[in-house]
Structure 1
Amino acid sequence: MIGSHPEYSARPRAADIDMPHQPGSPQSHAVALVAHAHGCDDTIRIALSHHVAGRLTEAELMYKQILAVTPGHADALHLLGLVAHHSGNFDNAVDFIMAALERSPQALYYFNLGNVMTAHNRHAAAAECFRQAVVLQPDYVDAYNNLGNALRSLKEFHEALDVFCTVIDKQPDHAQAYNNLANVLLELDEIDAAIEAYRNAIALAPDLPEPRSNLLFALNYADSTSPQAYLAEAMAYGELVTRLAKPWSSWLVDEPADHRRPLRIGIVSGDLKMHPVGYFLENVVRHADPQRIELIAYVTRNMLEDELTQRIKPLFHAWHSIAGVADRDAASRIRNDRIDVLVDASGHTRYNRLPLFAWKPAPVQVSWPGYFASTGVRAIDYVLGDDIVLSEEEAAHFVEGAWRLPDSYLCFTPPADDVAPGAPPSADGQPVTFGYFGKLTKITDHVVAVWSEVLRALPSARLLLKSAQLDVESVRARIAERFRAHGIGLDRLILEGRSARAAYLATYRRVDVMLSPFPYPGGTTTAESVWMGVPVVCRRGDRFLSRIGESILGPLDLLEWVADDDASYVAQAVALATDTARLVALRGGLRDRLLASPLCDARQFARNLEDAFAAMCGRRAQDAASGR
């Protein structure tokens, strides 16, 4: 429901040469090339040894000493730029590396300048740097690999595919390239090909966590994946990251059982912004009781902070970036911050840092609200859900313990944009318009067949699909062809891409009834539909993920919109779309109904969440006292 799939690009933190790396990564290139260039230059060798060991202050001092003697020493300038980048000083990093390039235009320098640009969201500049690197060194596969990731960030998906195929041609065992190729295929709605590429990456590098994590996310789109098959893959991932970690079994926190201090709650996320995670967290953060909990953010990427970030950031007790920080070091930082409860708000979505949870930096660790299946990481103690998404039967699909919140496990934050619902299109004499606003990857072949049946039942009706993926012409052509195979021509489809938030919300006014896909339904879009007065037809599923729409509609007493099978789904959609009087009434009343429901009672939700965290800590204290 919440978020998009994770990215792996040798995590372009390649410029941080003190980070752990895979064979052939930019770190090993940096060491080998500098050492080769200088032979027995003891000063640069000693400085570099400090740098690789993480003694950056000593390394910086020695680089400056080298430059005092030889002001144009290109390697010292380049490496000083990497130190500046590690310290978060973007301008100095660029200046130093550019100065090195002026003196000696080397592929490695362009490569690491591209990594600096990538880390600061300058993807066009990064792509140009990587291009220069491969011009100077045509066999530089890591530069091609990171070029592909820069192109993906620029949404140049087909060019990115070509680049990753070039990497694989040059180095057939390049697991990272297969992983990144799969990421792009997923963007292009090629789910089966993406899963195959992820499996190729895993076969080539079985000890690399990222492809396994990406595969887990992708499997949620495939309706052929059983909960048991998913759990087996998740457990394999969990075993791997646990093997790579050294978990703590004691912590620095004082027991909070007497409630004399607030619990310290850490939230690990790359999505504290205008993103579904941000939308569901905003009101909860705003209504948290500082006498009971202190919220500490651990941001996993160098974000361009948007208006939502700016609204919630002051509400946190502290805000730290762990972007580019090794899992061991990030976990140590969290442990030293004396966190009582550490919340993973990503699961296997993009920018997750699940491997650091395997280090067990906090005595209690929880998965919420950014994922919808087991992470596979046994060091995460609980998954937060409710009675609908996390039934007794569903608990068996998790390695995490089940913890249920009253009413709902989500709290909806009404949009800041003041966009009125308007009248349903059919009430103004227009053809009935169904809609779906979300990832096209959720539209499986089964979904296309069922939605086509809905459209055949109402020959004048249309389907409005709105997704960022539809900005890509080949994706538009492919989705049109999939419906054409079921007798639904392009004249019955309205295909639209990304738009600004207010314009996006206004698009709901052009829809009579929203259709939620399955088994991966709309989450944020279901709540937004209700906010905009548009009914949503959902399909009941057999796991946490497929019950999210039901979890949102349940507290609104709208479970009649949740169908048990294909036939009732079609019948419900047609019945709603042809009852104009009901559509008009819903348009005028759904928003108030949502606001009056537990989904929008942020104050009570915050109390429920605080109670849950306190009870978790109390249970841990009891277990510790009893030796369990």
Structure 2
Amino acid sequence: MNDTEAQLDSALVHHRAGRLAQAKALYEQILRTQPGQPDALHRLGLLACQTGQHEAGIALMERSLAARPDAVCCNDLGIVLSERGQVAQAIERYRRAIALRPDYPEAHNNLGNALKDTGELEAAAASYRKAIGLRPDFPQAYVNLSAVQRRQKAYLLAIGTAQRAVQLAPGLAEAHNNLGNAYHGLDDLAAAAASYRRALELDPVDSNTHHNLSLVLLKQGRYGEAQLHCRRAMAACTSNASMHVCLGDILRAQGDMDGAIDAYRAAHQLDPGGATLALPRLLFCAAGSARVTPQQFLDDARRYGRLMASRARPFVHDRQKRAARAAGRPLRVGFVSPDLRQHPVGIFLESVLAHIDRTRIEPIAYATHPAEDDVTARLKAHFSAWHSLVGLDTESAARRILGDGIDVLIDLAGHTAWSALPVFCWKPAPVQSTWIGFFATTGCEAIDYIIGDRYVLPASEEHHFVEKPWRLPDCYVCFTPPPYDVEVASLPMLSAGTVTFGYFGKLTKVTDDVIALWSQLLCSVERSRLFLKAPALDARDLQQAMAHRFAIHGIAPERLTLEGASPRDQYFAAYNRVDIALSPFPYSAGTTTAEALWMGVPVLCLAGDRFVAHICESMLHTAGLGDWIAASRQAYVEKAVAFTNDRARLAHLRKTLRARVLASSLGDAPRFARTLEAAFRAMWDRYLAADDSAQM
């Protein structure tokens, strides 16, 4: 062994032991006498990268390769470049390493990683398979191949590959985590959770595994556990926006909307460019939050609108050509929604579409979610065409709508899940509006109108929206009765001897503030009861949590009836056990108000200061129940007491409310259809006249 080799060996010992100063001194000593010594150059370059001097380190490693091409050195340089985000350069170095040494499994595996980062999944998979072919007992290559197969949605293949990694390296936590990911992709939640738990036994602090397990537990409805693991993930990795989004989803499922808002806002602050992860969720929660002012909501909505617009290239419509194409034919109106099924959108759409005059309006559906049911089947019969946008990217979806020659395009989702708002930013139709799917501004400047009525869109609140208000003359929605007869029973308090208040909507609307007022109401009406019915109450822990929240205000558990989901006919029949329905605030009862009125049950609500708080008001005014709207919380309780003391009036309402609803625009579908047709035609006429300054 010569002096140089001895010095290199000594330097390497220091280097591996972490004694970097000593190693650096020896490398530099060698290079003073042999400036082109490739091993010293390469190792000094690696050391420089380890200490954060990446540019100098990469330059030294390049000099080493110029002096002596070497596969290992090329591979090492590729790793450094990958870590620096210079993926294209890393790929070139890995390929050079393979050219120098075709049987180099590590280089093939690393090339696969870099190709995966660029989205070249098939090429990445081929590199991993080559690595495995060269070394069949290479567990990391199996782990990586499984990850690619999962991204390709080849979940069964991914499971098999991940299982092989676990067999080869049962103590490798990453292998178990990856197997959990593959099971999760196949929606085998129990198997996924078991794999994640095994991974955490091997590596208890891995943030990715805690995060993955929290996502599965959320789907399983195990919210407490999900939150625990999500917070553990965040403790180890505070800057991961996706983890904050996950926490927001968990808190929202638990009914903590304000906590969810904080989590989504934190995610947006961490990753403003990836705001599509958090902003729509934040906006959904914020619209019904008393803590968020309408101006704050508008600011966030505008921010999301600008982000969507920055990713779109709006189509230009020639007004004269559009007018010529539309002349002499029905107006083509497209309805874009993920909820063309048993959902409030489906409920408020079905009966209206059944009475649309096809000589005036040609309705065309664009579904953004694959779920279908009996309501979907009935809705399909009322559209002239039905198209699925599922799986299409935003531009392709927009071009599909443009190609169909839609005149007026209606958003029926707003900031709810599976929304297609980004499509509207491409302006695929010359006239665009939002209606019934959401309850606040979209923030999308490309949407011309928001359809409502004088109750949900009072002139004093026009500044809450980027869209122009379009007010229908009566209620802005029309209820579709169930397709089976559910008889209205007599007033239950007459036989029960006590008053039963009820609320059958989302538990997320039942905030601590709402519970405080409802508890005050229960205390004011002796021996009264509260009947809450919601699918979430199938979970025993949520039942217990709800009972505890009322107990804080002195309401004993025996005064509550907490009931979960039931078949639709039994759901309607449950209203026969309710004397008076209660609307929460500020996120008021919408669909459940219409359902309660249909079943002869009047609804008590609190006057609000924004669209979402006015929905119940609109329906009550339309049904002639304006005196059931309380101007204050004190009035809310006083009205409840007064109404329960007037049994004769309640009994009369019980018998007459359904007929009253049917005689109003809330239940008269043919009348509402004519109103909606007129609105669409007027929007189109305004577009042709370019009269954008007029107000409805």
Category of TM-score, reference length = shorter chain = 0.7 to 0.9
1:16-165 pair list within 5 angstroms: 52=119, 93-94=154-155, 96-97=157-158, 100=161, 110=179, 113-114=182-183, 116-117=185-186, 145=211, 147-165=213-231
- The answer to whether residue 487 in structure 2 is matched with residue 420 in structure 1 is yes
More displaced stretch, 335-344 vs 529-538: 335-344
Whether the aligned pair in 2 keeps the contact of 1:463 and 1:494 (CA below 8 Å) is: yes
> 1:128 deviation in Å?
6.5
Whether the aligned pair in 2 keeps the contact of 1:313 and 1:319 (CA below 8 Å) is: yes
> 1:231 deviation in Å?
1.4
For residue 439 of structure 1, what is the aligned residue in structure 2? 506
- The answer to whether residue 360 in structure 2 is matched with residue 292 in structure 1 is yes
Structure 1 residues 258 and 318, CA, compared in 2 at 3 Å: closer, same or farther? closer
> 1:386 deviation in Å?
0.8
Q: Could you tell me which of 221, 224, 243 is aligned with 1:177?
A: 243
For residue 609 of structure 1, what is the aligned residue in structure 2? 676
> 1:187 deviation in Å?
1.5
Structure 1 residues 578 and 256, CA, compared in 2 at 3 Å: closer, same or farther? farther
1:264-343 pair list within 5 angstroms: 264-303=332-371, 305-343=372-410
For residue 550 of structure 1, what is the aligned residue in structure 2? 617
Provide, for residues 531-580 of structure 1, a one-character-per-residue CA deviation record: whole Å limited to 9, x for no partner.
11111111111221111111112222111111111222222212222222
Q: Quote the Cα distance in structure 2 between the aligned partners of 1:133 and 1:416.
A: 51
Q: Secondary structure at the match of 1:598?
A: coil
Q: Quote the Cα distance in structure 1 between the aligned partners of 2:682 and 2:302.
A: 27
Q: Quote the Cα distance in structure 2 between the aligned partners of 1:376 and 1:189.
A: 25
> 1:390 deviation in Å?
0.9
Provide, for residues 144-202 of structure 1, a one-character-per-residue CA deviation record: whole Å limited to 9, x for no partner.
54553343233222232233224323422111111121111111122332222122111
For residue 658 of structure 2, what is the aligned residue in structure 1? 591
Q: Secondary structure at the match of 2:438?
A: coil
Q: One-letter code of the match for 2:219?
A: S
Q: Could you tell me which of 272, 276, 279 is aligned with 1:206?
A: 272
Provide, for residues 97-151 of structure 1, a one-character-per-residue CA deviation record: whole Å limited to 9, x for no partner.
4565576666797466456535xxx766766687788889988866654553343
Q: One-letter code of the match for 1:534?
A: V
Length-normalised TM-score, structure 2: 0.73
1:208-607 pair list within 5 angstroms: 208-250=275-317, 254-255=322-323, 259-303=327-371, 305-607=372-674
Q: Secondary structure at the match of 1:348?
A: coil
Q: Quote the Cα distance in structure 1 between the aligned partners of 2:210 and 2:383.
A: 39
Q: One-letter code of the match for 1:232?
A: D
Structure 1 residues 587 and 270, CA, compared in 2 at 3 Å: closer, same or farther? same
> 1:337 deviation in Å?
3.1
More displaced stretch, 166-175 vs 98-107: 98-107
Over the residues paired in the alignment, what is the CA RMSD in angstroms?
3.9
Q: One-letter code of the match for 2:436?
A: P
Number of equivalenced pairs: 578
More displaced stretch, 595-604 vs 350-359: 350-359
> 1:402 deviation in Å?
0.7
Whether the aligned pair in 1 keeps the contact of 2:333 and 2:363 (CA below 8 Å) is: yes
Q: One-letter code of the match for 2:625?
A: L
Q: One-letter code of the match for 1:200?
A: A
Provide, for residues 243-278 of structure 1, a one-character-per-residue CA deviation record: whole Å limited to 9, x for no partner.
233333337984367542233322222211111111
Structure 1 residues 263 and 94, CA, compared in 2 at 3 Å: closer, same or farther? farther
Whether the aligned pair in 2 keeps the contact of 1:327 and 1:356 (CA below 8 Å) is: yes
Whether the aligned pair in 2 keeps the contact of 1:237 and 1:376 (CA below 8 Å) is: yes
Q: Quote the Cα distance in structure 1 between the aligned partners of 2:539 and 2:480.
A: 30
Q: Quote the Cα distance in structure 2 between the aligned partners of 1:79 and 1:478.
A: 41
Q: Secondary structure at the match of 2:459?
A: coil
Q: Which has the larger radius of gyration?
A: 2
Q: Quote the Cα distance in structure 2 between the aligned partners of 1:417 and 1:279.
A: 14
Q: Could you tell me which of 215, 239, 256 is aligned with 1:190?
A: 256
Q: Quote the Cα distance in structure 1 between the aligned partners of 2:408 and 2:200.
A: 46
Q: Secondary structure at the match of 2:342?
A: coil
Whether the aligned pair in 1 keeps the contact of 2:146 and 2:162 (CA below 8 Å) is: no
Q: One-letter code of the match for 2:538?
A: D
Q: One-letter code of the match for 2:336?
A: V
Whether the aligned pair in 2 keeps the contact of 1:78 and 1:100 (CA below 8 Å) is: no
Whether the aligned pair in 2 keeps the contact of 1:296 and 1:317 (CA below 8 Å) is: yes
Provide, for residues 381-424 of structure 1, a one-character-per-residue CA deviation record: whole Å limited to 9, x for no partner.
11000111112112221001111112111010001243212122
Whether the aligned pair in 2 keeps the contact of 1:556 and 1:593 (CA below 8 Å) is: yes
Q: One-letter code of the match for 1:411?
A: C
Whether the aligned pair in 2 keeps the contact of 1:251 and 1:338 (CA below 8 Å) is: no
Q: Secondary structure at the match of 1:568?
A: helix
For residue 17 of structure 2, what is the aligned residue in structure 1? none
Q: Quote the Cα distance in structure 2 between the aligned partners of 1:444 and 1:141.
A: 32
Q: One-letter code of the match for 2:350?
A: E
Q: One-letter code of the match for 1:390?
A: L
Structure 1 residues 323 and 151, CA, compared in 2 at 3 Å: closer, same or farther? farther
Length-normalised TM-score, structure 1: 0.81
For residue 18 of structure 1, what is the aligned residue in structure 2? none
More displaced stretch, 72-81 vs 577-586: 72-81
Structure 1 residues 293 and 141, CA, compared in 2 at 3 Å: closer, same or farther? farther
> 1:463 deviation in Å?
1.2
Whether the aligned pair in 1 keeps the contact of 2:334 and 2:365 (CA below 8 Å) is: yes
Structure 1 residues 234 and 51, CA, compared in 2 at 3 Å: closer, same or farther? closer
Q: Quote the Cα distance in structure 2 between the aligned partners of 1:322 and 1:139.
A: 41
* Structure that is richer in helix per residue: 2
Q: Secondary structure at the match of 2:450?
A: strand
Whether the aligned pair in 2 keeps the contact of 1:331 and 1:361 (CA below 8 Å) is: yes
Q: Secondary structure at the match of 1:619?
A: helix
Q: One-letter code of the match for 1:260?
A: G
Q: One-letter code of the match for 1:185?
A: L
Q: Secondary structure at the match of 2:596?
A: helix
Structure 2, unaligned runs of 5 or more: 1-81, 99-103, 167-174
> 1:613 deviation in Å?
1.9
Q: Quote the Cα distance in structure 2 between the aligned partners of 1:135 and 1:306.
A: 43
Q: Quote the Cα distance in structure 2 between the aligned partners of 1:572 and 1:243.
A: 50
For residue 5 of structure 1, what is the aligned residue in structure 2? none
Q: One-letter code of the match for 1:531?
A: W
